[in-house]
Structures are given as structure tokens and as C-alpha cells.
Structure 1
Amino acid sequence: MLRKFIGRNFNILFYKGLMETLQMRFMSLLLFAMLLFTCYQGYSQKLTRLTSPDGSIEYVFQLKNHLPEYSVFYKRIALIKNSGLGWAFKEKGSLRYNLKVLTVSISEGTESYKLPLGKTSSVNAHYKQLIIPLEERKVNGRKLNLIVRAFNDGLAFRYEVPVQKNWQAFTLTDEDTQFKLEGDPKVRALFLPNYTTSHEGEYSYLALSKVKEDTLMDMPALFEFPGNTYMAITEAALLDFAGMYLCKQNGVLRSMLSPLPGQQDLKVKARLPHQSPWRVLMISDRIGSLIETNILTTLSPPCKLKDVSWIWPGKTTFPWWNGSIIPDTTFAPGNNFENNQYYIDFCARNGLEYHTVVESCGHEWYTNDGEGYQPGAHADVTKPVSGIDMKQICDYAKSKGVGVRVWVHWKALYPQLDTAFVVFEKWGLSGMMVDFMDRDDQEMVNIQEEILQKAAAHKLHIQYHGAYKPTGLSRTYPNEITREGTLNYEVNKWEKRITPDHDLNIIFTRMLAGPTDYHLGGFRAVPDSLFKVQYTRPLQLGTRCHMLAMYVVLENYLGMVCDYPAAYEGQPGFEFLKMVPTVWDETKVLEAKVGEYIVIARRKGNDWFIGALTGHKGRVIKFDCNFLGKGTWETTTFSDTEDAGINPNKVDKQIKMIAPNAHIEFKLASGGGAVMHIVKK
């Protein structure tokens, strides 16, 4: 009995103690969970996610301690983590702290449109969109919307200040956008000393950790992550805002806005509602995807011109580059009708669309009392220098089926903008190169848009030089026919800096933003050891086939033919230069390795044009023609010869018949290239 009594009580005590222990543990777990929940509520809000239509790209947003942060993943691997967002204003300080999220909305859409000028003629881009309304956690707190769009080949976000009470206008002093990149990706970018720049320089290639602090990084900048994942950062739809740069501060990349002239603190002045350009991340594990994408035009406003039938792409002379060379003749060289007639006749004989009137003997075609092409106090773009009758030149060119363009300094043009465009239209000009912009602050951005708008009213196209990157506005204003912003072959007139490797750097960086103007067409290639600076008849590094391939590889709707007529006519390869288009219906990158080589196929109508480039290293490149339709195709190939190292201007031309599944092999010399024209038979 005693044993049963002790056993029964022992069991009662045991179970009672066990229950008390379990209860204490449960309460402890409950308190711990409540503590975690409290901490989570204090420091972080639930995650808001947006994925691309194919699910490969993911954007994640959260408020952490009431501060907005975002992360970006590609195929579940982080590229950007916990990066801050926000704006700072002169009037009421930063709009970033102590925020709350209002009702979030997610939608889906497709942008379908035609491009009069582009690397493709039709675009059909599917995307998902997220709108995150943010509001300060105080009475009558300010509001700021974050708009995010995810595509299969990239991601973009922008800030929007909506209409709200007690706030009509703002002065932006800073944009607090961070890009905290994961790991230590390699960077390929152009570094600049300050915001006053023509955006012309050599590109650097280094690890992000080696980038100097507080140094401006131009955009687009390309970042290479492990596993061959590529991300380019740039912007789209730059309108009524300051241009953006990147800068590493305390180890983190952040946005930097170009300040308004005359000071450093104020960046943007605007009335509500107002929005920033899109901050664009092009993302893929195939570098060719970043070249093929139309994300920048897709993010830009639709075309604002009712009639675009008058906008012709094509190729143009630019005699300044060669020194305005003419043959021995009865007429004197200089700013006169006969000199321009000589170049117009060259265009008419060879199917070139435009002749550009620039200067002669160091003086512009228009009246100017300044020096070095800079406008003087009495510069007047409506008054040609003695000896030039612009109406006569335009009438003669029109009779030959050739358009006439002019070069002009923007500071000489802008004060006379309305008057000048009326006069230019009466003369019969087709367009102009507007040069020496050298800024991308809000004032200059607005000036460039104003020039485009007013030029379109007079059926004039614009080619911007010494200008910032494209931001997709060739969709909005198709009369923006191309942009420079590159260190290119014009430099061969005074320095030895432009190499085949530099060309490839441009293709994998600056060209990601869109049309990339170069002084193309130098037909005097020499080996590196024989190169010398010549202001007239400049020399070229790289083979002639490398030069031919630049017309296909570069996206550029107005290709220059910069040399003088006798340098081309009768020369090997000129027949390809005459036939190659400058706008395309379709673009495919067949093979590419960043900084080393690229093969691009572009279609115009039923014809395909292929361009292949290499840097200093010669190589054999192989690719398939499975992009061709059924049937038999005739190929005409222009390629480097075996002795290209000694005779870089020699061209091997071959004509062959191929099937759509053919395997093609190009043997490229050092600094070489190859082109192919494919026609269905």
C-alpha cells in the first residue's frame, strides 16, 4: 500500500511539475515572439515584392525603422541589398525619414509602339508595375510616390511628388538613391572630374572596391557579377530634371545630380506634380540582352510629333574631319558654293543622304567674331559668311536628291532660336549638328528639349554633340537623330588615343544608352608603329574591315562618312559603306564577350547585315545563322586579309550561297573586323 501511495503521489507531482515547466516555456516563447514582433514593427514593415513577367528579376521594398529600402535579385541571387531611397528639399529637409506606406497597387501592362528611328522598328514590351505611396508620419505629412516597373531584361524606378495640400513647388537639393551592390563586381565606366563635361574619355575597368571615393561615374556604367551576370545602371526619360551620375561614398554607390549653373547645392526647381527620370537597371546573364533591349525608349513618353514622314535617317558627309579636302580644280577652296557642290555631287553619285556644311580654314559658315569656333559678341547664324548662299546650296542639293545640314555652336544658335529656325526652313535645310553642350543640369536638359520641339515645327532634325547620353527620347522626339558623348575618331586629328579596344569599351558601355555618334569613315588605316597625328587626312588604327563593321555594330541613325570623296571612290569596301542602313527592323547579338569581341546581326526589310569586331587580339569567331528563314541565302563578306598587320586597308571579298542552318566563321586580324550582307535568293 505504501509503495502504491508513494508511486501515485510521485506521478501526480511529476505531471504537475511537467505541466508547470511546459507552461513556463510556452509563456517564455510567447513573450519572445511578442518581443520579436514588437522589434519587427519598430524596425521593419512587411516586404513588398514585384517580379518581372518571367520571374527572373525581383524587386523587394520595405520600411526599416521607417526608412525606405529596396533590394534587387536576379534568378534569386542578390545584386543590390538594403539600399536607401528618398529626396532632400531646400524648403523642408529630407523626405526619407519617419515614413509610412499607404495603399500599394500592383498592375501589369504592355507597351506596343513603332520607332521611326531605332535598332528595331516595332516594340512590344511586357512589364509589371508597383506603386508605393509614402507619407511622413506627422500631421499634414508630405507625400512621395515610388513607381517601379519590372521587365524581363531590366528594372526601373522613379520618384513622383503628387499634388498635395500646402505644397505647390519645391527646390531639390539631393537625391538619396543608393545602390549597395553585393560582393565586389567589376566596373566598366567613364570617370569624370566634374559636371561640366563633353562625356568624352577613356573607360576604366576595375573592381568596385578599387573605385576612388567621391569620383563622378558617368552613366551607363556596366557591372559584372560572378556567374556572368551583368547589370548596367543608367536613366530614362530625362525631362525637366537634372542628369544623374554615380559616386562611391563610404563604400556605397549613390546618385549625384548635376547642379544648376553658378552654384552646387540646388539641383531641380519644379512645381507639383513632378517626377524624376527612371533609374534603370538593365539585367541579364547574356551581355547581348543589354544591347538588344528597348527598355529606355519603352520608359520614355510616346512620340509627341504628329508627322514624322519628313525625318530621314541616313549617312552624311562631314568635311571638317578630313580638312575639307578638294582636288586640284579651277575653284578656290573655302566657304563657297563650289566647294559644297563638290561634296553634294559625291553624295548624289553614291546614294548618301546628306551633306553637312561646317567650316573652311578654321572659320564657321556663319558670321562670327569669336575664336576657336566659340561664339563672339556678334555671332549670327542667320547670316552666312561672304561667298556662301545657303539657299543656292540647298536648292542645288535638292535637285540632286541630297539633304543639307549645318554645324552650329549651341550658344550661337539658342539666342536666335525662333528666328534662326524660320530662316533655316526657308533656305531648305534638313537639320543640324548642335555642338559644345557640355552640361546636363536641369536648365540644359530643358534647353535641349526646347530645341527639339521648335526644330520639329520647322521640319529640322538635331544631332547633339558634346552632349550627355541618350535617355530614350528618340521615341518622344524622333527628330533627335543621334547623340555623341563619346571620345571618337575626331581625336585622331590631334592625339593617338582611339584604339580598337576603346571602340569595344564604347559598345559595352555608352552604346547601352542608345544612338552613339562617331566620326566614322576613315579609310587610311595604318599599323600602330606607323600612326602619326595629322590634322588633315587623319590616320586610323584598326583595319578597314574594323571600320566597316563599326557601321553595323554601332547604333547610330546618322552615320558619318567623314573622309573626302577621293578617299572612298574606287576603294575596297566602299560599296558596303554605301549600302549599309542606319536604322533597323530587328537586332540580334550573336556572340559577345565584354571588352574583347562582338558579332551583331541587324535586319532591314528582308536583308541582314552582320558586323564583327575584335580588340587588339586577333581571333576566329564562329556563329550560326539559325535566325534566317527558310530558303537559300546569298552572302557577300568583306573580311581582313592574311597580311592585315602590314596592309590593314586590304579587304577580302567573297560571295557564297548558304542555308539557314549554316555555320559561319570569321577570322579577324588584330584590331580587325568583318561584315556580311545576306540576301534571300
Structure 2
Amino acid sequence: MPQPSQKKNNSESLSVHCLWIALLLSLSMTVNAQKKVGLSSPDGKLHFSLKVTKDAPQYSISFNGSTLIDTSNLGFQFQKEGYFSARLKMGKPTYNTVDETYELLVGKNKTVRNHYREVRIPLHAHNGSKQTLILAVRAFNDGIAFRYEFPEQEKWSSYELLDELTSFEIKGNPTVRTLFWNNYVNSHEGFYHTLPYNSIQEDTLMDMPILLEFPKTFMAITEANLRNYAGMYLIKKNGHFTCQLSPLPGQSKVKVRADLPHQTPWRVMMISDRIGALLESNILTNLNESSKIKDVSWIKPGKTSFHWWNGDIVPDTTFAPGVNFETNKYYIDFCADNNIDYHAVIGYGGFAWYTSDAPGYGAVGSQTDVTRPVPSLDMERVCNYAKEKGVGIHVWVHWKAIYPHLERAFSKFEEWGIKGMMVDFMDRDDQEMVLIQEEILQKAAEHKLYIQFHGSFKPTGLHRTYPNEFTREGAKNYEYNKWEAEPITADHDLDIVFTRLLAGTTDYHLGGFRAVPQSEFKTQYTRPLVVVTRGHMLAMYVVMESYLASVCDYPDAYLGQPGFDFLGKVPTTWDETKILDAKVDAYVTTARRKGDRWFVGSLNNGTARTINIHFGFLEKGTYRAEIYTDGKQANVNPNQLNREMKQITLEDTLEIQLAPSGGMVMQLTKMN
């Protein structure tokens, strides 16, 4: 028999053994509860990490080893099902790598490489409901994107979403450039603010994209493939960024109603140590589906007149100006003579071209009917004349004037020969409006019509899926010079470049050729003034991305003016885009190629500077360069413009003087 001391030792040994088993089980459970999944970009510089804790799935993002987004929660709050965040179980992740190319009909690049690594992570509710969603994550060399996917499942057929709980725990105190709002119903047109992250006030809506500048890195937050879902803002809560969705109309609780299967838009973090890489990025179109339009032969981007901006100016004539054939003929002839593809039929004196009992452009009435032009306008005659002159007709409409009667309206537009339209005053980005916009694009494509959205939220790459979407506004621009005492400045243009333009097409009322020093600016509803140089205005056509660029001034403002010839040459879609040099808030130089021609544009802020343009992006050979630069007296006469011709090779460097609020533009043509 064992002695008492031996029994004690055996008992202690058994206890220690049991403690070790318990500890190992505890550690195993902890590891399982905080199981980590990682994903890196193809070049290995960007890293996404996910762990599932008892409170929520949590992710982080790093670039070149430095954390940009620290431990941040994911999840949802549903009306019926409650919270989907705590006590989730992670299923087996599946990995994939994609490296492909595709063609964009309208875009800043014709051929786009789509190269990413992907992980799909099932997340299961642990409350007996067996609800499942999949977190899909893609890592590109220029950004990280993730979305939630709700697969079809037996015990969950639909949901009402109260809140998306996606958060962004920003590391450190980067400089933030953002657009603040008081509510969700807005035109997305405002002045941007630049401030430290820690200075952002709590509970203030921020529009997207938002640019964050870390010591060695730039990161923009936005969304891609926004379809059948609410638009996303950010708001600072308890010291960190949180997703805030635009609520459905008429209430404030429910943000999204959906049947399964369903998916959210992609939450996108564009990331690089070079701001130009964010402007060059195609990550948003990469995250959208290929074109749903099979026959695209009718889709022809270009430039358009827009006489509303200049105040409907016509010269002294023998006809009465107004909504009539003669007024539109005057602008059609101007477009035909100057390589402007489209003329916009808008109205006159604040009233639309179509029959309406509303008091002006900004409203519709019970008798509004876009299929009945005002008695003075023969729309078919206008379209036929424009066709004879090689010009397409594009019309302005209030969105409520065409919706919900899209088939009736668009059938009549196609019958007349109209090629497209500006759809205005949308001013919302809730799920209902998002669906309305896609319905407009779908129905317009059936009738061979292109769309230009105004008073609209930012683009999300949908022009890959619907290439009849040519442009979107959603930016405060030169129309405000018609009525506001504070004009649009060169500094604001640069703010737009480094924020709103990151999301894609940005429609501006361009082409103002009456520039004055800012000290001489005054509001003018007709013949409005601008406070940037002629060189700056020309460069906007290269730097800004819009597949329907406007030429908004009246014909006599252009004819015989220096630089107007350039507007007839510059394309609106591109085969290749490169950012040659850029400094946030200061200047940008953009090079875009169409065929064998390159167009280079530089925008400057309000401080004079010298820049150097290096031509290493060119192929070997000699190019003829037609260069427009600010005149020496541009600070007192901002319309002054120099034009010179040079021969350039890829080994050359060109020094350019940019005036305050100035710019430069050039066309490079390869010589045989």
C-alpha cells in the first residue's frame, strides 16, 4: 500500500495535471474566440487582419508595417433580429487571387488591371437563429475593401436594418479633409474643411470621400458599388469614426429594407504613400460588375453647351430669345462650328422647356409633363436640325418630372431624337433614391439615352456597369458664382481634386472665360465672372474627370479668345491616366492619353510657384508640344494666356511658372 506521503504526492500531481488541462482548454477556447484571419495585398505592403471576439468581429489595416486603422468593430443592428455582432462564430475562410483586365467604355483608363487577393469569411449568429453572413475582403496594391454578403438561407428571408455598425478606429492624429453636413437631405455641394482628426466634433455628418493624411501615407475612405442600399456617411462617436446610413424617407430609424440574398456596398480604403496613386486608382470600378448594356455602339461621350450658366445669352438678333427653335439654333451652330458634341436644351429665364405649372426650374407641379414641350418649342425640329449639323441634343429635367413615368418620357425622348439628359435636384442618397437612380440608368439605356446626374451623391464606380452614366455633380462649383458673394477659388478646385475627385467623375460648370482678380469679383447671374486664370480654367478640362464636359459660356465669350481652340481638341474619356506630380492643397499635374496624343494639365492654388514637368512617361520619339501658360500679367489680367510650340522627348524636363490661381495645359502629339 502506498504511504501517506505518496498519496499526497499523487494527489498533488493529479491536481496539477487537471489544472494544466483546464488551462489548455481555456487557452484553446480563447484562441478559438479570437481566431485571426489575415490578408495581404499582392505586393505585400497592405495588410488586413480580422479577429472574432465575444463582443464583435474586429479588423485592422496596416500599410508598410504601420497601423492606419486599429482594432475596429463590425456588425449590424436589425429591427427584428436585434444585434448581429456579439458572440459570433467564424466559419472556415476561403482564399482566392484574381489578376485580370477589362475594358472601360467611359473612364480614365481604357484597359484596367484588376489584381487583388480575396478572403471570404462566414460569420454565424450564436443565438439559435443560425443567421449567416459572409464578410468579403479584397486587398489591392492601392487599397483594401470589404463588404457584407447575406446569402439565401432557410430561416432568414428579409431584414430591416436600423444601423450598420462598421467603425474605423483611426490611428494617431492625421490631417482630415472632409465635407460636413447637418442632415442627410443635401446636394453634396459645399466647401471642404481641413483639420486634425482629434479636432473633429462628435456627431457631425461627414460626406465621402474623406482624405486622411498620415505622416507618410494617404488614405481615403469611400464606398463602391452602391446599389439597393443606403448611402454611407461617417460620424465621430466616442472618439472614433462610425458608419452612418441615410434613412429611408418619412422616418429616421430604418435605413435599409432588403430580401435575401443581398449585399452591402464595398467599404473602401484607398491607400498609398503617394497622393497621385489615389487619383490614378481604378479600385472603384474594379469593385463593380461588368457592363449590363450589351449594345454600346450608341454611347458617345463628349462636350456639351449649357447656356443656363451664362444666363441664356444670345446676341442682338431679329428673333425673340426664349424657348424656341431660333435660340437653340444659335447654340447648335456654335457647337457644330467648334467641335462641341452636344447642345443642352434647358429652358429660358428660369423656366423649363417642358409644360409645367410649377413656378420655376426647382419644382414640378400637378400639370408638369416632359412629353409636351412649351408651345413655342418644336423639339422634333430642334433635334432634326442638330442631327443635320452633327450635334446631339441633351435636355435638362427635374427628376420628379420623369419619375415614375420613365417609359413614357424616355420613349418620347427617343422618338424626338434626344441623346441624353441632365437629371437634377435629386438631393438624397437613401436606399429609395439609390434604387431610383439605377432604374433611371436601366430605362435610359433601353432608349439609348445617356445620363448626367446633378444634385446627386458621389459616384461609386457604377459607370462600369452602366456606361451611359457620363458624369455626376455632387460638388460645389462655378454655378455658385452666379449668386454667392464668395466665389469658387483655385484653392477650392484643389480641395475638390484631393477629395471628391477620388470617387470619380465630378461635373463642374466649366468654361468661364471672363476672369477678374478676386478683389474685383461681383456676383452676376448673367455673364458670371470667375477668379481663376484662363490657364487654370483650361487645365480643369484635363485634371477633372467627367465624360460630359461642359462649355458653359455663350458663343461671343469664346470666339477669337486665346485658348478657346484647346476646348475643341480636348477629349472627355481617356486611354491612360498618370499623375505626374501633386502636393495636397497646393498643385497637381495630370497627364492623360487619348490614342497617340497626351494632354497635360496643371492646377495651382492661390500662391505663385514654379513646377517642373518630367516627360519620362512618354514613349521614345519626338513630340510636338502645344503649350498654354499664364501670362506675365495674369495676376492683374487673369485672362492673359501665352501659347508656344516646342519639341519634346522623354528625356526632357520643362520648367513652368504658374500664376496665383493659375494653371497650364498642353497637347503632345507624336511626330512621324
TM-score band (shorter)? over 0.9
Alignment of 1:459-474 (within 5 A): 459-474=448-463
Q: CA deviation at 1:36?
A: 10
C-alpha deviation, 1:141, in angstroms: 2.0
Matched AA of 1:156: A
Tell me which of 404, 407, 411 is aligned to 1:415: 404
Give the partner amino acid of 1:400. Answer: K
What is the match of residue 4 of structure 1?
none
Q: Which residue identity does 2:540 align to in structure 1?
A: M
**How far 1:546 moved relative to its partner?**
0.4
Q: CA deviation at 1:195?
A: 0.3
Query: 1:509 aligned to 2:499?
Result: yes
Q: Which residue identity is paired with 1:244?
A: M
Cα distance per residue 1:334-363 (max 9 Å; x no partner): 011000000000001011100000111221
Q: Does 1:190 align with 2:175?
A: no
1:433 is aligned to 2:427: no
Equivalent-residue separation in structure 2 for 1:484 and 1:362 (angstroms): 20
1:346 aligns with 2:334: yes
Other-structure match for 2:196? 207
Structure 2 residues without counterparts, runs of 5 or longer: 1-8
Closer/same/farther in 2, CA of residues 633 and 32 from structure 1, 3 Å limit: farther
What root-mean-square deviation, in Å, do the aligned CA atoms of Structure 1 and Structure 2 show? 1.7
1:241 maps to 2:229: yes
The match for 2:350 is: 362
- 2:393 counterpart SS class: strand
Q: Residues 55-454 of structure 1 correspond to what in structure 2 (within 5 A)? A: 55-65=44-54, 67-227=56-216, 229-373=217-361, 374-454=363-443
* Cα distance in 2 for residues equivalent to 1:64 and 1:135: 13
- Contact 1:242/1:441 (8 A) holds in 2: yes
Contact 2:49–2:60 (Cα < 8 Å) also in 1: yes
Distance 1:48 1:33, change over 3 A: farther
Q: Assess if the C-alpha contact under 8 Å between 2:487 and 2:530 holds in 1.
A: no
Conservation of the 8 A alpha-carbon contact between 1:606 and 1:680: yes
Spell out the pairing of 1:519-538 with structure 2 (5 A cutoff): 519-538=509-528
Structure 1 position 33, deviation (Å): 10
Once the two structures are TM-superposed, the CA of residue 384 in structure 1 deviates from its matched residue by: 0.5
Superposition map of 1:481-630 within 5 A: 481-495=470-484, 496-630=486-620
SS at match of 2:404: helix
Residue 665 of structure 1 and its aligned partner are, at CA, apart by 1.4
**Deviation of residue 641 (structure 1)?**
1.1
Map Cα deviations across residues 122-161 of structure 1 (whole Å, 9 max, x no partner): 1112100000000012434211110000000011000011
Is residue 131–residue 155 contact of structure 2 (8 Å, CA) maintained in 1? no
CA distance in 1, matches of 2:569, 2:189: 29
Deviations 1:192-239, CA, capped at 9 Å, x for gaps: 110001000000000111111000000000001112x00000000001
Deviations 1:144-184 (A, max 9, x none): 11000000001100001111122111111110000001001
- Count of aligned pairs between the two proteins: 658
Rounded Cα–Cα distance in structure 1 between residues aligned with 2:560 and 2:30: 77
Report the equivalent of 2:6: none
Q: Are the equivalent residues in 1 in contact too, given 2:179–2:190 (CA < 8 A)?
A: yes
> In the alignment, which residue of structure 2 is the partner of 1:15?
none
2:53–2:86: 8 Å Cα contact kept in structure 1? no
What is the match of residue 446 of structure 2? Answer: 457
Deviation (angstroms), 1:32: 11
Output one character per residue of 1:96-122: Cα deviation in whole Å (capped at 9) or x when no partner.
111010111111112421111000001
Q: Structure 2 CA distance, aligned partners of 1:354 and 1:197?
A: 29
SS in structure 1 at match of 2:236? strand
Q: Structure 2: how far apart are the matches of 1:420 and 1:136?
A: 47
Report the secondary structure of 1:180's partner residue: strand
CA distance in 1, matches of 2:143, 2:279: 12
- Taking structure 1 as reference, are residues 637 and 164 closer, same or farther at Cα in structure 2, changes over 3 Å only? same
Q: Shift of residue 427 of structure 1?
A: 0.3
Deviations along 1:54-73, whole A, 9 cap, x unmatched? 00100000012252000000
* Alpha-carbon distance in 2 for matches of 1:64, 1:620: 54
**Which stretch shifts more, 59-68 or 556-565?**
59-68
Larger Rg: 1 or 2? Answer: 1
- Paired residue for 2:4? none
AA of the residue aligned to 2:130: G
- SS for the counterpart of 2:107 is coil
Inter-CA distance 492–273: structure 2 relative to 1 (3 Å threshold): same
Where 1:256 maps in the other structure, the secondary structure is strand
Query: Is the 8 Å Cα contact of residues 59 and 72 (structure 2) preserved in structure 1?
Result: yes
Contact 1:69/1:83 (<8 A) preserved? yes
Q: Cα deviations across residues 451-504 of structure 1 (Å, max 9, x unaligned)?
A: 000000000000000000000000000001100000000000001231100000
Per the normalisation by structure 2, the TM-score is 0.96
Cα distance between partner residues in 2 of 1:350 and 1:275:
46
| In structure 2, distance between residues paired with 1:138 and 1:563 | 63
TM-score (norm 1): 0.95
Partners of 2:59 and 2:314 lie apart in 1 by 60
- 5+ residue gaps, structure 1: 1-19
Amino acid at match of 2:353: W
Matched residues in 2 for 1:104 and 1:125: separation? Answer: 22
User: What secondary structure does 2:557 align onto?
Assistant: helix
Code of the residue aligned with 1:524 in structure 2: it is: R
The one-character-per-residue Cα deviations of 1:380-417 (angstroms, maximum 9, x if unpaired) are 11111111000000000000000001100001111321
Separation (CA, whole Å) in 2 of partners of 1:234 and 1:109: 22
What SS does the aligned partner of 1:533 have? coil
Change (3 A) 1:371 1:111: farther
Match of 2:3 in 1: none
Letter in 2 for 1:383: R
- Does the 8 A contact of 1:43 with 1:66 survive in 2? no
Q: Aligned to 2:89, what secondary structure does the other structure show?
A: strand
Shift of 1:44: 4.3
Which of 667, 670, 678 is the matching residue for 2:657? 667
Q: Structure 1 residue 50 and structure 2 residue 39: aligned?
A: yes
When structure 1 is superposed on structure 2, of 290-299 and 40-49 the one drifting more is: 40-49
Cα distance in 2 between the residues matched to 1:271 and 1:165: 13
The answer to whether the 8 A contact 1:43-1:64 is kept is no
